[in-house]
Amino acid sequence: MIQTHSVIKTNLISYTNTDFRYVNSHWLSEVIFYWIFKQAGFYGLIVLTTIVSALSLGIIFVFSIKRLPLVSCILTSCIYLFLILDRTDIRPEIFSYLFLSIFIVILYKFRQKYTKLIFLLIPLEILWVNLHINFLIGIILIFLFVLDDLFSNKLRINLKTKTLFWVFLLTAASAIVNPNGIKGALFPLTFYQNFAFPVEENQNFFTLGSIFNYATLLPLEIPIFILFLLLLIQRKKSDLIDYLLFIVFGGLIFIAVRNISLFAYATFFTFAKLFSPTLKFFVIKLKKIILENKYFVLKTFGMLMLCLLLIVNIIRSVSLNGFGLGINDNGKNALDFFVKNDLKGPIYNDFDFGEYIAYRLYPEEKVFVDARPEAYPKEFFENVYIPMSQDVSTFLKFSNLYKFNSIILSTWNSPISKNKFLSYLINDKKSGFALVYFDDYAVILVRKNSSNRYLIRKLSVDKNNFNPNSISDIKKLTMYIFFFEKVGWKNQEIKTYNRLKILDPSNCSLKASLYVFSPKYAKLRYINPDLSKKCI
């Protein structure tokens, strides 16, 4: 885009659907990320994301503490922390959270007192529509405040109502200021039409609950339930806008779990406002039960416990991820191997791996598919990609059509149907491909033909090439166990499990990984060893 001074509107990185036209709803975010990356690499992107995330929470937090008790705001932050942290990846959506915070603060200020800041929402919407698909949230927010203003004033229209209504109309109209015009403005209402592939973050709570253990979703569900109770308990202190925000943004979560952070930013002030009198009520009751000096001790103890919990979580996070700047480079070793050994395409890859392959190999190699469903026709997923991983004959048909020379697949995050497909490619000689690389995250295979004969003789690997005793990383060993279970390498699975037991005698790491999934799904998908009960 920087080279041509034009917005990408076709799927350049794919060889299967290169000319497919799609709406690039976050082109400006891509340009910003690219510029930051050119200046400071991945670490620059991490710093940018951290700053934007901190600003998003900071704006709504500062607004709240100026109007509400500090303790209520701090406790709301602690309760909402899981909702906010759930979506802090380096993605264009971080800008949506920033704009959402700005919009809601300006709208609340206007609700309290007429301010010309309200007109700032119009140019902000023009920026938002070019940064991320959630720009529609800004228009919805203004509409909710219009409804609140109308009903709060018993349908009487005053200057504030007229101003807010005109801002709503002009903000909605400004959404067409994007490279795709009307089509781009309507894209949030039509993008799902191409989503024939089930993306985890676009599932609702009920669907996720059938796959994952419901208990793992509790940190996301509890704040929503508490706010629901607060709205019931504090009915007299609740305004119409409080109910509107809860219903609309709560509904968005149950449509797609990826909207969880939108709910947090949109309802933060409402939660803190209603939580404050509830907290005050319990404090008064507590003071009556115990003497003042004992209450002070109890209060101090409570604050110390809160600090201790935060410290424990920080220590846990550092022990899992390390301290400082860093990136998850799970696919790096596989692509290093591909480049070092001068392997060639056309490449068959899975949904999870596409964008990283493109980042490393484009333009010399293009991808079969990547994690942008909107950039592919729906029929491609329904008639090609999904059937290929479910039926061997379909895979062979398209393998001959596209003339795959190499295959790159992630092995960690895969559905049950893909496990059989993975086992077929690796174990069945009739697949026509030879395994030349595998690690805890990925496999690479090349086609058995005369061009690759030397490569296969030089690089070919099998189940006997693996020695778990050289690995001391518990997470990697756990991932290897799952991989061996999928492809049926039982001896390697047992050896790896025995190595893991030496490093982690209580099996806590493996137990935690299995626990993420619901018991039914875990039993279908993975091994279920005799796990220790010593783990929390």
Q: Alpha helix locations (H) across 362-464?
A: 378-380, 386-390, 392-402, 416-427, 453-459
Q: Do residues 460 and 512 share a domain?
A: yes
Residue span of the structural domain in which 227 resides: 27-189+199-289
pLDDT bin (cut points 50, 70, 90) of residue 275 is confident
* Among 476, 496, 500, 471, CA closest to 485: 496
Do the domain assignments include residue 534? no
Do the domain assignments include residue 405? yes
What rounded mean pLDDT belongs to the chain? 84
Q: Do residues 360 and 284 share a domain?
A: no
pLDDT mean over 139-150: 92
The pLDDT of residue 239 is above 80: yes
Q: Do residues 346 and 253 share a domain?
A: no
Torsion of the alpha carbons at 288, 293, 299 and 302, rounded to the nearest 10: -110
Q: Do residues 149 and 263 share a domain?
A: yes
pLDDT mean over 42-59: 93
Decide the pairing of beta strands 347-349 and 406-410: parallel
357 contact partners, CB below 8 Å, separation of at least 6:
331, 335, 347, 349, 365, 367, 370, 408
The 3-state DSSP class for residue 367 equals strand
Domain ends where: 260, 289, 318? 289
Q: Do residues 364 and 284 share a domain?
A: no
pLDDT mean over 122-136: 93
Q: Do residues 101 and 236 share a domain?
A: yes
What residues are paired with 212 via a beta bridge? 517
Do the domain assignments include residue 347? yes
Q: Do residues 418 and 494 share a domain?
A: yes
Q: Of 49-58, 211-220, 313-322, 442-451, which range is least confident?
A: 211-220
Q: Do residues 261 and 351 share a domain?
A: no
Supply the pLDDT for residue 526: 47
Q: Of 107-121, 273-287, 455-469, which range is least confident?
A: 273-287
Q: Do residues 375 and 510 share a domain?
A: yes
Domain count, the chain: 2
Q: Do residues 381 and 508 share a domain?
A: yes
The pLDDT of residue 481 is above 70: yes
The pLDDT of residue 422 is above 50: yes
Supply the pLDDT for residue 127: 95
Q: Do residues 346 and 217 share a domain?
A: no
pLDDT bin (cut points 50, 70, 90) of residue 202 is low
Do the domain assignments include residue 374? yes
Buried-exposed string 161-178: b where 16+ CB fall within 10 A, e elsewhere: bebbbebbeebbebbeeb
Domain ends where: 256, 289, 322? 289
Share of the chain above pLDDT 70, in %: 84
Domain ends where: 229, 254, 289? 289
Do the domain assignments include residue 297? no
Supply the pLDDT for residue 279: 73
The pLDDT of residue 107 is above 60: yes
- Quick one: 319 exposed, middle or buried, by C-beta within 10 A (0-12, 13-18, 19+)? exposed
* Among 461, 464, 527, CA closest to 491: 464
Q: Do residues 236 and 384 share a domain?
A: no
pLDDT bin (cut points 50, 70, 90) of residue 520 is low
- Quick one: 209 exposed, middle or buried, by C-beta within 10 A (0-12, 13-18, 19+)? middle
Q: Of 242-251, 379-388, 505-514, which range is least confident?
A: 505-514
Do the domain assignments include residue 14? no
**Global pTM value:** 0.84
If phi > 0 it is left, if psi is from -120 to 50 it is alpha, else beta; for residue 488 that is left
Do the domain assignments include residue 13? no
Do the domain assignments include residue 307? no
Q: Of 47-61, 147-161, 292-306, 431-445, which range is least confident?
A: 292-306
Interval 345-358: pLDDT, tens:
899 998 888 999 99
